[in-house]
Structure 1
């Protein structure tokens, strides 16, 4: 596996597809719901391979029996590869550190993937914990669909969900600070600022302190090399964030 992948990805992500003869495949084929336009996979850390995949030929041109977790990670576009790799790597490491309510944790990412024919496809993908036992993650599930509503810029967008998010978000923000990325909470504040609300008014709307709002906005100046809030808002529009 390439040295460009993160430590977690190199160790825990395999290039092994699902086994159609495995009884688990048939079980998930009947159990896992998927909708038109969506592709889904279930990956086992216990067996170190895919357990189930469907919808990938329509989405990215690959037959479901060709899909592996390594392939999904590796066919990311050049401009999004580093960030996508870091996010997946750090998010999965964080999830593995949790021991309770594991199935409630997930993260989303907007990312460009390369179709089998070479076309760049913008995707919205969500990865969550599908099965755990005694505080150990056994399986994860990923669901992807094409983004039709807008273009993706150089700035990648992500979000995290779960019962105890502070550590999750802090971990990602620290690790991804030097990447061109923005979280859903940062976008939430930026959208309100773009509508003309002051930091104090935004803090009141979101029921947090003004300093919490400043901590979401001011780091973006350095991250995106902008000099002021109007410059940041203009940058966000230019990069399809707002």
Structure 2
């Protein structure tokens, strides 16, 4: 089912539906017993195989939606407008990357900092993590999402995200390449930029990460054009002003 509000990517259009979880099913009851949920956190498990939610917990406390009514389409649609285009494309490109992998799929995940719209209309700052929950015959069959309220994060105009997994660098590099047109920064880029702000040279940063100096330059220099800055000093100033760096 396609959203009436958002221009989702081709992968998202194919997989996202408006079908909630049957929380009375034996499967959902088992998830309730075995999946740990932290305070101020909501969880979902979504099946690509069945095109529906398999499980949901904590959504009424977090965003005002009952666990038996929250759907994948709802979660997408309640993203705050300023975060929606990037969030949707990140999800789309991450799925594309994972659908081209066949091994160790359950070790991959990504995070994003954003705001969702509560059922009462207020905006809630969240850190959301999406990972592969189950893979079958080399394909992702279901994903698990954790969204946790975090009032301490300072969200500026720049979207922040990170990728994890056996091929973390390849995963993040692919997302960087696909999402370059957005005002966004990856965890890897942020790590390098924070060391630049502390006064380390590109050569010193390269030695710390065990990569070449040119690899560090490729993380930093493209941000000049992305964030429309003209110098390293300007880039660092921009990073502090937009809460990229503390």
- Provide the rounded CA distance (Å) in 1 between the counterparts of 2:78 and 2:143: 19
What displacement does 1:25 show?
0.9
Give structure 2 stretches of 5+ with no counterpart: none
What displacement does 1:163 show?
0.5
Structure-2-length-normalised TM-score? 0.95
| Secondary structure in structure 2 of the residue aligned to 1:174 | helix
| Secondary structure in structure 2 of the residue aligned to 1:189 | helix
Matches within 5 A, 1:1-242: 1-2=2-3, 4-242=7-245
- Provide the rounded CA distance (Å) in 2 between the counterparts of 1:9 and 1:150: 28
User: Between Structure 1 and Structure 2, how many residues are aligned?
Assistant: 242
> Does the CA contact (< 8 Å) of 2:125 and 2:153 recur in 1?
no
What displacement does 1:84 show?
0.3
- Greater Cα offset, 211-220 or 148-157: 148-157
| Secondary structure in structure 2 of the residue aligned to 1:130 | strand
What displacement does 1:23 show?
1.8
- Provide the rounded CA distance (Å) in 2 between the counterparts of 1:38 and 1:182: 24
| Secondary structure in structure 1 of the residue aligned to 2:120 | coil
Provide Cα deviations, 1:120-157, integer angstroms capped at 9, x if missing partner: 11110111011112212111100010122232011010
> Does the CA contact (< 8 Å) of 1:80 and 1:154 recur in 2?
no
Structure-1-length-normalised TM-score? 0.97
Give structure 1 stretches of 5+ with no counterpart: none
| Secondary structure in structure 2 of the residue aligned to 1:137 | strand
| Structure 1 residue ranges, 4+ long, deviating more than 6 angstroms after superposition | none
Provide Cα deviations, 1:92-124, integer angstroms capped at 9, x if missing partner: 121121111111011111111111111111110
What displacement does 1:205 show?
1.4
More helix by share: 1
